[in-house]
């Protein structure tokens, strides 16, 4: 579980910066919100440390949590222990999963990865509103957070790519989605998941299942061992890499002059056009 | 919007007649389901006429007192969407694996274009423009530098009765150096290589509509789009997708004939009085004011061809079924074929019981019926029912 601790440390550092900036800017509400997140992150770091030092007890908290509902005589007990919930805010859970994958991903994959490697899941429906909240927060105070959960950009129109989430600190090339990028990102995600599994001495069944699902759709990865999957995915990746890099590079070059919010959350021109024309096309759309 | 050429005087006259049939309502556009339904019952003048005029059949049926509880079940839609999302997850990873096996796609052929929206714009016209651009580009690209393999939810267009119907196939796959294949994703299971024939037939006709529209988009080139469409459905009792090929050549022929028939609707129009209309006479709030009896009379002037299959495809099904009660056709195509020439169930019973003297052309069928009735009496020991029914039926 070293991954969690590292991710937490990065996040704690980021939150300290955020608290300082909020205090200096005189925004009390934001500062206290960041302080609360910082406190939670530090607590999570302590917990993760305990778990890491006692590998035998790794499953103990879950076992306790699982046995609790049976004896739950006090529904309003201190810190309701949900076996599948996490103490971290949603955006940080999404960030954890995306940091593991290192490619833009759909909410469903993000939730599955988080469940497999961080032991907590969240409803994918909440992720949709997350991106909207992030955009609102960015527009209100640009770059006041160390990172934002943002959009991947479609290479053709630089508009938000449907259903994909990314992290604002990634290079633009990684966030641009050309026609080969979905496949390239799928293969890259498979490699990242395989690597993550190799780092864990005893990977949880959910993680193995996830790898198996990747393996089923990669030619030559018949046995779902991490090494085989990595090798097979890398082999196919070499076929697509050059063409995909070119497409993404060109899109990124076009996206670079865009203003901050548009660069992170996609251009709006087409959506605005859609709203203007929707009056004329509504009748037709309704008949579809 | 409409890119149809300037109509000739004759066409304009036909259009005026159709507009009169429809009355003041806005024309209802076709979609893949309604076009498929049209091809499913080519002998129905009522449906052909109403569809050519773009009559809102749902509203008409409701107003005359036979609303059809129509549409797909919410559960079926949810299941279908979940399965489609599953096979299209991760750049359509599951689907790509199947297509690679089935079509022998090159490894490099892994392009995925999402046409569900164009830069956030979901308008049909915009999506159709982008679809045309990408598909023709892919069709014309040099063999070595393919630009497209999978096109997710492209927007096709088909001219039906002078208006454009927008169609949205699940996926179009381009075979390397070859032809386009229409891929239809369905959530009914293929168990041990077998699926519900009715559902496969429905999927086939729907795919045929897409093949036709796609050929239209690519300039009418028949060879560009394969007549074998690909059906993706869950295998056995799992959620694992499997793939099978559906040959739609027969459906394409029926469809083409039906579309020609709509285009040449003048012949059908000539059979009916010029003042015939299905107008609902709506008040300013849109509520229909026309007396239902009068509307039913207008509908009754146009002959229908009811079969039990209509219950699954047509908004007017309950009205036509009510009309067809007592006829042999209402019992299904096979019954009508077996009892060729005998219109009513009452006459059938009469011929079987021997109470109705058979005319010369009915002698053969009468003999068969009498024999069947005798066998029935021998087995069950009861007399044939329905003499009462027969008398009333003959009186009318």
Specify whether the CB–CB gap between B38 and B48 falls below 8 A: yes
pLDDT grade for A220, boundaries at 50, 70 and 90: confident
Task: Convert the pLDDT of each residue in A69-115 to its tens digit.
Answer: 333 334 333 333 344 556 788 889 999 999 999 999 999 999 999 99
Cβ contact B25:B280 at 8 Å = yes
CB contact under 8 A, A270 and B121: yes
* CA–CA distance, A275 with A285 (Å, rounded to integer): 13
- Chain A residues with CB under 8 Å of B120 CB are 157, 159-160, 266, 268, 270-271, 274
Nearest by CB to residue A179, choosing from B89, B94, B112, is B112
Q: Please report residues of B whose CB lies closer than 8 A to that of A220.
A: none
Q: Do A274 and B121 touch (CB under 8 A)?
A: yes
Say which residue the tokens 């007396």 belong to: B291
Regions of chain B where pLDDT drops below 70:
1-7, 69-72, 143-144, 161-162, 176-178, 382-396
A&B contacts, CB < 8 Å: 101
> In this structure, what token pair is assigned to residue B228?
């074998």
Q: In angstroms, what CA-CA distances link B80 with B30, B63, B188?
A: 22, 32, 8
Chosen from B51, B55, B93 to mutate, greatest number of chain A CBs within 10 A:
B93
Spatial contact of A4 and A113, defined as CB atoms under 8 Å apart? no
Closest by Cβ to A278, choosing from B108, B119, B123 = B123
A136-151 mean pLDDT: 90
With an 8 Å Cβ cutoff, is A112 touching chain B?
A: no
CA distance B127 to B134: 10
Shortest CA gap A274–chain B (Å): 5
* Percent of residues, chain A, with pLDDT higher than 70: 80
DSSP, residue by residue, B159-228:
EETTEEEEE--SEEEE-TTS-EEEEEE--S-BBTTB--HHHHHHHHHHHHHHHHHHHHHTTT-GGGB-SE
Q: Which of A183, A267, A274 lies nearest to residue B91, judging by beta carbons?
A: A183
Counted residue by residue, chain B has a size of: 396
The residue behind tokens 């800017």 is A25
Residue A62: pLDDT band (50, 70, 90) is: very low
The model's pLDDT over A240-270, given as tens digits with 9 standing for 90+, comes to 999 999 999 999 999 998 888 888 988 876 6
Is residue A161 over pLDDT 80?
Answer: yes
Map out the domains of chain A as residue ranges: 1-52
The reported pLDDT for the residue numbered A7 is 84
Per the CB < 8 A criterion, the answer to whether A288 and B166 are in contact is yes
Distance CA B326, CA B324 (A): 6
Chain B residue nearest residue A281, CA to CA: B123
Interchain CB distance below 8 Å, B116 and A278: no
Write the residue in B31, B96, B121 that is nearest to A271 by C-beta.
B121
DSSP string, B268-287: HHTTS-TT------B-TTS-
The pLDDT of residue B396: 40
Contact between B69 and B325 under an 8 Å Cβ cutoff? The reply is no
Q: What is the interface pTM, i.e. ipTM, of the complex?
A: 0.74
pLDDT in tens, B339-366: 877 888 888 888 888 888 888 888 888 8
What is the structure's pLDDT at A237? Answer: 94
Whole-number pLDDT of residue A86:
66
pLDDT in the model for residue B112:
93
Judged by CB atoms closer than 8 Å, whether chains meet at B119 and A271 is answered as yes
pLDDT of residue B131: 93
Whole-angstrom distance, CA of residue B250 vs CA of residue B280:
38
Determine whether the interchain pair A284/B125 forms a contact, defined as Cβ–Cβ distance below 8 Å: yes
Could you tell me if B97 lies within 8 Å of chain A, comparing CB atoms?
Answer: yes
Query: B116 — contact with chain A (CB < 8 Å)?
Result: yes
Distances in Å between the Cα of A132 and the Cα atoms of A109, A112, A265, B175, B317 are 19, 21, 9, 39, 46
Domain B74-256 has CATH 3.40.50: no
What pLDDT score does A79 carry?
39
CA distance to A106, B179, B221, B247, per residue, from B86 (Å):
12, 26, 33, 25
A154–B168 CB contact, under 8 Å: no
> What count of Cα atoms within 13 Å lies in the side-chain half-sphere of residue B366?
14
**Residue A35's pLDDT band (cuts 50, 70, 90):** confident
Would you call B90 and A189 a contact, using CB atoms and an 8 Å cutoff? yes
By residue count, chain A amounts to: 288
pLDDT at A55 over 70: no
Q: Which residue is it, tokens 């069709």?
A: B139
CA atoms of B154 and B156, how far apart (whole Å): 6
What's the pLDDT at A282? 42
| Chain A residues near residue B114 by CB distance under 8 angstroms | 154, 161-162
Is residue B393 less than 8 Å (CB to CB) from chain A?
Answer: no
Q: What is the per-residue pLDDT across B291-316, written as a single tens digit (0 to 9) for each?
A: 988 898 899 899 888 888 788 778 88
The predicted structure's pLDDT at residue A239: 93
pTM of the model: 0.73
Does residue B159 belong to the interface with chain A, where contact is any CB pair within 8 Å?
no
| Beta-strand pair B228-234/B241-247 | antiparallel
Q: For testing the chain B interface, which of A161, A182, A185 should be mutated: the one with the most B CBs within 10 Å? A: A182
Strands, DSSP E only, in A100-245? 149-154, 160-167, 176-177
Closest alpha carbon within chain A to B97: A217
Interface mutation vs chain A, best among B123, B124, B209, B213, most A CBs within 10 Å: B123
Contact call for residues A183 and B99 (beta carbons, < 8 A): no
Quote the CA–CA distance of A110 and A93 in Å, as a whole number. Answer: 9
- Identify the DSSP state of B291: -
Please tell me which of the candidates A156, A266, A274 has its beta carbon nearest to residue B122. Answer: A274
Please give the sequence-ordered ranges of beta strands (E in DSSP) within chain B, or none if there are none: 112-114, 150-152, 156-160, 163-167, 171-174, 180-185, 228-234, 241-247
How do the domains of chain B map onto residue ranges?
9-71+272-324, 74-256, 329-395
pLDDT category at A275 given cuts 50, 70, 90 is low
Selecting from B91, B100, B148 the residue whose C-beta is nearest the C-beta of A185 gives: B91
Angstrom distance (rounded) from CA A101 to CA A105: 8
B91 and A182: CB-CB below 8 Å?
yes
Among A31-35, A183-187, B243-247, B378-382, the least confident range: B378-382
| Cβ–Cβ below 8 Å for B29 and A270 | no
- What DSSP letter does each residue of A24-42 carry, written as one string? HHT-HHHHHHHHHHHHHHH
């Amino acid at each position: 579980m070293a991954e969690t601790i590292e991710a937490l440390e990065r996040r704690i550092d980021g939150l300290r910066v955020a608290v300082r900036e909020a205090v200096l800017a005189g925004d009390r509400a934001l500062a206290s919100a960041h302080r609360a997140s910082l406190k939670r992150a530090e607590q999570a770091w302590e917990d993760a440390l305990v778990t890491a030092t006692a590998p035998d007890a790794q499953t103990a908290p879950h076992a306790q949590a699982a046995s609790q509902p049976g004896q739950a005589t006090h529904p309003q007990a201190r810190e309701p222990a949900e076996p599948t919930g996490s103490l971290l805010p949603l955006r940080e859970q999404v960030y954890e999963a995306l940091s593991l994958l290192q490619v833009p991903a759909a909410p469903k994959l993000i939730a599955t990865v988080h469940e497999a490697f961080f032991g907590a899941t969240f409803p994918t429906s909440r992720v949709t509103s997350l991106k909207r909240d992030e955009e609102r927060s960015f527009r209100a105070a640009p770059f006041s957070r160390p990172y934002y959960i943002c959009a991947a950009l479609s290479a053709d129109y630089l508009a938000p790519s449907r259903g994909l989430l990314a992290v604002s600190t990634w290079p633009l090339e990684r966030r641009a989605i050309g026609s080969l990028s979905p496949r390239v990102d799928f293969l890259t995600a498979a490699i990242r998941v395989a690597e993550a599994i190799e780092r864990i001495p005893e990977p949880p069944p959910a993680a193995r299942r996830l790898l198996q699902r990747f393996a089923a759709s990669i030619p030559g990865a018949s046995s779902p061992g991490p090494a085989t999957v990595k090798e097979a995915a890398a082999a196919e990746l070499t076929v697509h890499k050059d063409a995909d890099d070119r497409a993404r590079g060109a899109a990124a070059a076009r996206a670079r002059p865009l203003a901050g919010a548009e660069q992170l959350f996609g251009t709006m021109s087409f959506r605005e056009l859609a709203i203007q024309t929707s009056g004329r096309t509504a009748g037709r759309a309704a008949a579809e | 919007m409409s890119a149809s050429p300037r109509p000739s005087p004759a066409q304009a006259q036909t259009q005026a007649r159709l507009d009169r049939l429809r009355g003041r309502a806005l024309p209802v556009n076709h979609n893949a389901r309604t076009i498929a339904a049209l091809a499913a019952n080519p002998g129905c003048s009522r449906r052909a006429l109403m569809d050519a005029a773009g009559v809102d059949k749902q509203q008409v049926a409701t107003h005359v007192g036979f609303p059809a509880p129509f549409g797909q079940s919410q559960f079926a839609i949810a299941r279908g969407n979940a399965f489609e999302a599953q096979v299209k997850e991760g750049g359509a990873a599951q689907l790509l694996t199947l297509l690679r096996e089935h079509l022998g796609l090159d490894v490099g052929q892994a392009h995925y274009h999402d046409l569900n929206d164009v830069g956030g714009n979901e308008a049909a016209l915009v999506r159709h423009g982008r679809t045309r651009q990408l598909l023709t580009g892919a069709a014309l690209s040099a063999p070595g530098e393919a630009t497209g393999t999978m096109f997710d939810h492209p927007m096709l267009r088909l001219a039906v009765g002078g208006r454009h119907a927008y169609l949205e196939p699940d996926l179009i796959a381009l075979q390397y150096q070859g032809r386009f294949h229409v891929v239809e994703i369905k959530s009914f299971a293929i168990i041990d290589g077998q699926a519900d024939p009715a559902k496969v037939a429905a999927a086939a006709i729907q795919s045929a509509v897409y093949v036709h529209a796609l050929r239209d988009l690519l300039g009418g080139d028949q060879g560009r789009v394969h007549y074998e469409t690909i059906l993706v459905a869950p295998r056995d009792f799992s959620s694992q997708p499997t793939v099978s090929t559906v040959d739609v050549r027969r459906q394409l022929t029926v469809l083409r004939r039906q579309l020609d028939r709509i285009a040449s609707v003048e012949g059908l129009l000539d059979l009916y009085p010029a003042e015939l209309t299905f107008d609902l006479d709506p008040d300013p709030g849109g509520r229909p004011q026309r007396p239902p009896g009068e509307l039913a009379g207008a509908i009754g002037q146009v002959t229908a061809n009811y079969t039990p299959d209509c219950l699954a495809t047509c908004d007017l099904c309950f009205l036509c079924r009510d009309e067809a009660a007592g006829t042999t056709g209402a019992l299904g195509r096979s019954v009508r074929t077996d009892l060729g020439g005998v219109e009513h169930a009452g006459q059938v019973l009469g011929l079987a019981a021997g109470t109705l003297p058979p005319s010369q052309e009915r002698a053969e069928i009468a003999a068969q019926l009498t024999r069947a009735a005798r066998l029935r009496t021998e087995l069950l020991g009861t007399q044939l029912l329905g003499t009462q029914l027969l008398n009333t039926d003959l009186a009318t």
